[in-house]
Chains A and B, each alone.
Chain A
């Protein structure tokens, strides 16, 4: 079946560092990918919708300059957390849309900022 690969699965870095997370659809073309954030014991919150070849659409309250999203091809979207600080520590999950099928999710990235 369809698979979405997310990398890295875990990253620990110092405050002020920029961190890039990749989301790849392995066996299908995804015109739309989504990025979610999950705080402990909370639900997944949609951060942004990423469409191939165009600017991402961000949800209210999500800083565009903090969370840079690039969707340069039909199989790859990246989320870059710029100048990360401890409050950015969270679990980030991507999903990819294949035609009219429900979203396929990656395994998530645990980001810890020291």
Chain B
């Protein structure tokens, strides 16, 4: 079945550092890929998505590119802020667009220190 693997946390960085959170997936067909973020005390929010190979999703300075050849969707940000501290989940939808239930990675806890 489908699966998502993302790097274990916590990841601790200083403010303005470069961020990469790795995510790889296993799926049949052509899944859609997502990054969700969960801030302390809040629910999951969609951060960005990509629906086909070579698509780049971006939002709030975060980017991720759908790499079919490496089955990856790594999350990057050039300069992190303290307010980016949260848990980040990589996810996929077996059917395009997220119309079916999502398969999630375990989540990566990101801690940004001032």
Contacts and interface: CB of A to CB of B under 8 A. Distances in A.
Contacts of B107: 43
Given A46-B101, A49-B101, A102-B98, A107 B42 contact: yes
Interface residues of B, number: 21
A105 B4 contact: no
A97 B105 contact: no
Interface stretch (B11-19, B43-51, B67-75, B76-84): B43-51
A36 to B, nearest CB: 8
A49 B104 contact: no
A39 B114 CA distance: 31
B52 interface: no
Q: Size range of the interface on A? A: 20 to 34
Interface string A8-41: 0000000000000000000000001010100001
A44 B36 CA distance: 12
A43 B100 contact: no
Given A41-B106, A43-B106, A44-B104, A103 B98 contact: yes
B84 to A, nearest CB: 19
Contact of A105 (B45, B101, B103): B45
Nearest to B32: A102
Contacts of B89: 43-44
Nearest to A107: B43
Contacts of A102: 34, 46, 49, 97-98
Interface of B: 4, 34, 36, 42-46, 49, 89, 97-107
12 contacts: A34-B102, A42-B106, A43-B105, A44-B89, A49-B101, A97-B99, A101-B98, A102-B46, A102-B98, A103-B46, A103-B98, A105-B45
